Amino acid sequence: MKILITGGAGFIGSHLAEYLLAQGNHVFVIDDLSTGAIENIVHLKENPRFHYTIDTIMNIQAAAELVDRCDLVYHLAAAVGVRLIVESPVRTIETNIRGTEIILELANKKKKKVVIASTSEVYGKASKVPFKETDDLVLGPTDKGRWSYACSKAIDEFLALAYWHEKKLPVVVVRLFNTVGPRQTGQYGMVLPNFVRQALLGQPITVFGDGTQSRCFTYVSDVVRVLADLGQRPEAIGEIFNVGSDEEVTILDLAQRVKALSASSSDIQLVPYNEAYGSGFEDMQRRVPDISKVRRLTGFCPTYGLDQIIEAIIEYERPRLRGEIERG
Ligand code: UDP
C-alpha cells in the first residue's frame, strides 16, 4: 500500500513511518521541519520504499501530488506542545485548522481514506473520568490561549466527520493521550523528556503547580501499532477512538519515579504555573482515557508500563546528553 504521513518527520510520524515500512508499505512523508527533524528520518532514507518531501502541507500543489499518489493518509502535521501553543497561538490555530482543511479537501477528490490524529486535549477540563469518546468537551474561555489548541483540534474532528457524513470521505479520528518515547523533544513543553533530561543533568526537576495533576503516558510503539491497525479496518470509518494507556500517575509521582530510575541527585522543585506559562494559565487536573472502544475493535492493550517507559527514555537520552553530563 502507498501511505502518506503528514508530519512524518515528527516524533510520532517518524515512528509510524518506520512501522508501516516494516509492514512492507511504501511510505511518503511530508514535513516542514517546524517541529519535526530530519534526524528522525535519516535512517529511513536508504529504504527504497521510503520517500520524503520537505515542504508544508499549506503548499497545496505539493500536498495534492502526494495525496494523489497514495491510497491512505495519516494526517499528523500539527502544532503541538503546550509551550508552543502558549507562545505561538496564531501558528497553532492556523496550522491546525487550515492544514486539516487542505488535506481533507484534497483527499476528498478521489475519496482517499484519512486517519486524523486528534488529541485528549479536546476533553479540556472535563472532570468526569475516564473520558469516553461520546462525552461533552469542556473548554475554557478564549482569552486563555491554551484552549485554542483543543478548539482547533475539535474543529478538525468536526470537519473530518462532516466530510464523512456529507461527502462519504472515509475518515477515522484518533484522540491520542500523552504519547511518549524516543525522539520526543522537551522543547515544546512535554513533561517526560524534560524530567528525564533534568534528572540526567542533575538539574532541578520542575513540577508545575502542586504536582497533584495526573496523566496517563503511552509508549509510542503501542500507539503506532494501533494507528496502523485502525487505518485498515472498515469498521473504524466515521468513528472516534481514544488511544492511550489507562495507568494514571500524578506529575509529582512521575518526577519521583524519574529521579529514582535514573539514580539522579536532582531536587524536585514545584514551579507555580504562572512562572512556567505566564499568568492565567489553566491546566487539566486529571486525564484518563476510556479505551474500551478501541480495545473492542482492535484488541488494543498497551504493552509498556510506566517504569518501562521511563527506563526506555532514560536509555535513549543518556548517550545524547553524555557531552553535557561530562562538562557538568
Ligand atoms: N509539566 C511539569 N513540568 C514540565 C512540563 C510539564 O510539571 O517541565 C506538567 C504540565 O503542567 C502538565 C503535565 O506535566 O500538568 C503534562 O504536561 P505536558 O505538556 O507533557 O502534556 P499535557 O499538559 O498536554 O498533558
pLDDT tens column, 194-224: 999 999 999 999 999 999 999 999 999 999 9
Assign 79 a pLDDT band (cuts: 50, 70, 90): confident
- Ligand 1 neighbours (beta carbon < 6 A): 82, 121, 178, 189-191, 194, 206-208, 213, 215, 251, 283
Nearest to 175 by CA among 73, 290, 52, 57: 290
Is the CB of residue 191 less than 8 Å from the CB of residue 251? yes
Place of cell 487550515: 98
For 171, phi then psi, to 5°, come to -130, 155
Residue 119 has pLDDT above 80, yes or no: yes
Query: Residue 53: how many CB atoms within 10 A of its CB?
Result: 18
Q: How far is the CA of 123 from the centre of ligand 1 (A)?
A: 16
Counting atoms of ligand 1 from 1, which one is nearest the CA of 188? 19
Q: What is the pLDDT of residues 257-308, one digit of tens each?
A: 999 999 999 999 999 999 998 888 888 999 999 999 999 999 999 999 999 9
Q: What is the pLDDT of residues 24-67, one digit of tens each?
A: 999 999 999 999 999 999 999 999 999 999 999 999 999 999 99
Per-residue CA distances from 57 to 97, 101, 119, 199, 289 (Å)? 12, 10, 20, 37, 30
Residue 314 has pLDDT above 90, yes or no: yes
pLDDT for 285 equals 93
Mutation to probe ligand 1, out of 83, 201, 206, 215 (largest number of atoms < 8 A from CB)? 215
Assign 85 a pLDDT band (cuts: 50, 70, 90): confident
pLDDT for 106 equals 98
- Report the Cα 32 to chain-centroid distance in Å: 17
Query: Within 13 Å of residue 320, how many CA atoms lie on the same side as its CB?
Result: 13
Assign 173 a pLDDT band (cuts: 50, 70, 90): very high
H helix or E strand, kind and range, residue 179:
strand 179-180
Q: What is the pTM of this model?
A: 0.96
Residue 328 has pLDDT above 80, yes or no: no
The C-alpha atoms of residue 32 and residue 221 are separated, in whole angstroms, by: 23
Place of cell 510506566: 306
pLDDT mean over 230-249: 97
- Report the Cα 255 to chain-centroid distance in Å: 21
Mutation to probe ligand 1, out of 12, 80, 82 (largest number of atoms < 8 A from CB)? 82
Q: How far is the CA of 2 from the centre of ligand 1 (A)?
A: 36
pLDDT mean over 157-164: 98
Per-residue CA distances from 90 to 145, 146, 231, 276, 297 (Å)? 10, 12, 31, 20, 37
pLDDT mean over 178-191: 91
**Percent of the residues in the chain that have a pLDDT greater than 70, as a whole number:** 100
pLDDT for 281 equals 84
Mean per-residue pLDDT of the chain: 95
pLDDT for 67 equals 98
